[in-house]
Amino acid sequence: MVMLRCKYCGAPFEAKDVEANTPYITCRSCGTTQQRIDAKAYLDQVMDQVRSWVSSAMPGGFSMSQAENVDSIARHNIYVTNVRPRISAEITEYKFAANTLMTNPLFVMPFTTDNTAKPVHTSASAFEFDAKIKGLSPLAVDSNDRKELNTAEDLVKSYALMINNVKLLQEDKPGRYVLMSNNFSQASEMLSKSNEYAPMSKRFSALAHACNGCEKLLNGDPMGSISYLEKGVSGLKDVKDNLFSFPSLAIMYQGVERELSQVSAVADLVRSSSSNGGDPVKTLGALAKISSIQYPNVSNWTILRTKDRNSELFQHMSEALGARSGSGTMLIASGDGDYLFPFWDVDLRYSFVTGALWSKKSVEVAEDILIPGDFTIDSACLTNPASGVTDIFALRPETSILAGLRGSETSISGGEGIGAISETARPGNPGARKIIVPLSTKKEAEHLTENYLVQRTQSNSKLRLSKPYVKNLIYVPCKVSGSSVIIDGFGKLLPERIKRTDINKLIVL
């Protein structure tokens, strides 16, 4: 039987598809449908290239068919003198490229894309090289040579399948998890034959489960998805924990770690939104909304373009859902309102010099500032950080000018009221209150505070600031009127951002 190859990605078609004998054939690796005659033409083209490459690897005047007829010692000699030197350099190159690709996460959450991984080969060239190795295998008579060649073939083929998966990470198209799962399963099975690649094989098997889970989820079966997602989580955890005993694959650590955090986030999300009779489809909608938000493009905020920030946002969302279902808690401040607004609680310490002449002294002050969790979508907060925080330095206590002369100043900020709000935050459940999902990460809150301090120290030379410490995320009860958010208790410290907030642009659970 003639095997066919996909003219788009180079993958060989599976026997059952070739036998079906329909005029059109769909690739199970990249998902493209093509005419059977095109797949046949592509196969012929590849085989021509392989044949001419193989004959160029032979000693002068020898053809493959001749080589197959000579005795095994002569074949072994051809392999050792002519073929191996030629092919081993290329195998090394492919091994290196495959290992490099494995440093990237090979999974994305539903509705998201990831284009960080940049394979140096196309899948077509990798599949073609795989065919070349196969073409040479009759010459490898020694069992060690044969084993070496088979292992290389499995790795190159797995690498080709992963190149196809990387392409699928970049495009949120329907059915991609089926294709990815298929590629992962195939690669896992091939690599399971060698001890050397055992962790890679296990990683792919875990990712195949995770992809099956996502596919079920997207098809409206969240309950059915959980066991697959959990298998993915435990498999990746196992790979991560045992990777240290495989130094040659330790390079995968970061990729596996990021896959684990993403698969866990999806699993948590599904578990917590289903457990309380919640609506996982709605949650998925929120998930989609989070990942499609366009953040402002401001020069010193490239941090908003980092890829793994989404997994932290999903984590916050999943914690909120967990608190609602009763399987966890969230920090809630006291106050009135049927909505809960997220704030980053930041511990800020500074010192300043007060008094004049002989009464000069340094005073240490600790303050809390609160940062609205949605500040990242507002370009005005990014360019003018004071509008994205409870701007304690804008309110210098009125008595301070005179007191400053006497050296009795105790603070040049006015944040006491804010500390009182954050101190009321206790672990609790939202009950029926609606939860506004934070759209910033802890690191971003820290970055905003640092920018704020730079902004304020430029206008107040007496200030000496230490590095701010972002403590945690707290939720402050608020009301919604029209599209505006109303929060009591902040007084004059209410961040400008809150006044600009449009509830319709936020994600509410």
Give the residues lining the site for Zn ion (CB under 5 A). 6, 8-9, 11, 27, 29-30
Nearest to 164 by CA among 178, 175, 180, 152: 180
Nearer to Zn ion, 9 or 506 (CB): 9
| Sequence-separated (6 or more) residues with CB below 8 Å from residue 3 | 12, 13, 15, 18, 43
Q: How far is the CB of 13 from Zn ion (least distance, A)?
A: 9
Q: How far is the CB of 105 from Zn ion (least distance, A)?
A: 23
| String of DSSP letters for 38-70 | HHHHHHHHHHHHHHHHHHHHSPTT--HHHHHHS
Nearer to Zn ion, 6 or 131 (CB): 6
Q: Which two tokens stand for residue 376?
A: 């990242």
Q: How far is the CB of 31 from Zn ion (least distance, A)?
A: 7
Find out whether 373 and 495 touch, Cβ atoms under 8 Å.
no
Q: How far is the CB of 116 from Zn ion (least distance, A)?
A: 23
Q: How far is the CB of 197 from Zn ion (least distance, A)?
A: 23
Nearest to 5 by CA among 138, 120, 128: 128
Q: How far is the CB of 165 from Zn ion (least distance, A)?
A: 12
- A 10 A CB-CB count for 64 gives 15
Find out whether 321 and 467 touch, Cβ atoms under 8 Å.
no
Nearer to Zn ion, 184 or 197 (CB): 184
Q: How far is the CB of 28 from Zn ion (least distance, A)?
A: 8
Q: How far is the CB of 9 from Zn ion (least distance, A)?
A: 3
Nearer to Zn ion, 160 or 249 (CB): 160
Q: Give CA–CA dist 489/339, Å, rounded.
A: 15
Q: How far is the CB of 91 from Zn ion (least distance, A)?
A: 24
Nearer to Zn ion, 28 or 471 (CB): 28
Number of helices and strands in the chain (H, E): 18, 10
Note the residue count of the chain: 509
Nearer to Zn ion, 5 or 202 (CB): 5
| Sequence-separated (6 or more) residues with CB below 8 Å from residue 261 | 308, 311, 315
Q: How far is the CB of 7 from Zn ion (least distance, A)?
A: 8
Nearer to Zn ion, 165 or 283 (CB): 165
- Mapped onto helix, strand or coil, the DSSP state of residue 366 is strand
Nearer to Zn ion, 26 or 116 (CB): 26
- Mapped onto helix, strand or coil, the DSSP state of residue 346 is strand
Q: Give CA–CA dist 281/204, Å, rounded.
A: 27
Alpha helices for 192-326 (secondary structure H): 198-218, 222-242, 253-275, 280-292, 309-325
Nearer to Zn ion, 183 or 272 (CB): 183
Nearer to Zn ion, 141 or 178 (CB): 178
Q: Give CA–CA dist 486/469, Å, rounded.
A: 27
Q: What is the dihedral of CA 479, 484, 486, 490, to 10 degrees?
A: 150
**How far lies 334's CA from each of 135, 327, 338, 425, 486, in Å?**
73, 21, 12, 7, 15
